[in-house]
Amino acid sequence: MALDRTDVEKIAHLARLQINEQDIPQYTQTLSDILDLVNQMQAVDTTDIDPMANSLDAVQRLRADEVTEPNNRDKLQSIAPAAEAGLFQVPKVIE
């Protein structure tokens, strides 16, 4: 499966990854190689096979909607790159 540079640019945007202009040809080639590898899957007929998301076919466990974890905001926020008054600081979003 051959990807071209616009595919790679689009994927990088979806993944919010900045990739350097000079790396785009390499990424295009390796991603195409990987997709060639995975295309081997198409050789097998899987009609009517149930997809398997969990190897034990386990069902999501639920619990009562009760608070069980302590409020650790200060400790958890102490490692933030930029925080003030309990809020995480980022560049202005709304112009």
Partner 1 sequence: MFDKTLAELASGLDNGDFSSVELTQAYLDRINAEDSKYNSYITVTDEIALSQAKAADEARAAGNAGAFTGLPIAQKDIFCTDGVRTSCASKMLDNFIAPYNATVVDKFNNAGAVMLGKTNMDEFAMGSSNESSFYGPSRNPWNTDCVPGGSSGGSAAAVAARLAPAATGTDTGGSIRQPAALCGITGLKPTYGRVSRYGMIAFASSLDQGGPMARTAEDAAMMLNVMAGFDPRDSTSMQQAVPDFTADLAQPLKGLTIGLPKEYFPEDLSPAIALQVQNAVKEYEALGATVKEVSLPNTALAIPAYYIIAPAEASSNLSRFDGVRYGYRCDEPVNLEDLYKRSRGEGFGPEVQRRIMVGTYALSEGFYDAYYKKAQQIRRLIKQDFVDVLNDVDVIMGPTTPHPAFKLGEKSSDPVAMYMEDIFTIALNLAGLPGMSVPCGQTDGLPVGLQIIGNYFAEQKLLNVAHQFQLATDWHKQSPDGI
Please provide the DSSP assignment of 33-89 as one string. HHHHHHGGGGGS--TTPPP-SSTT-PPPP---S---S---HHHHHTT-SSEETTEE-
Contact status: 72 vs partner 1 (CB under 8 A): yes
Q: Does 50 contact partner 1 by CB under 8 A? A: yes
User: 8 burial class (0-12, 13-18, 19+ CB within 10 angstroms)?
Assistant: buried
Does the footprint of partner 1 cover residue 71 (CB under 8 A)?
no
Provide, rounded to whole angstroms, the least separation between the CB of residue 73 and partner 1. 11
91 binds partner 1 (CB under 8 A): yes
**Residues binding partner 1 (CB under 8 A):** 7-8, 11-12, 14-19, 23, 27, 30-31, 33-35, 37-42, 44, 46, 49-56, 58, 60-61, 63, 72, 75-82, 88, 90-93
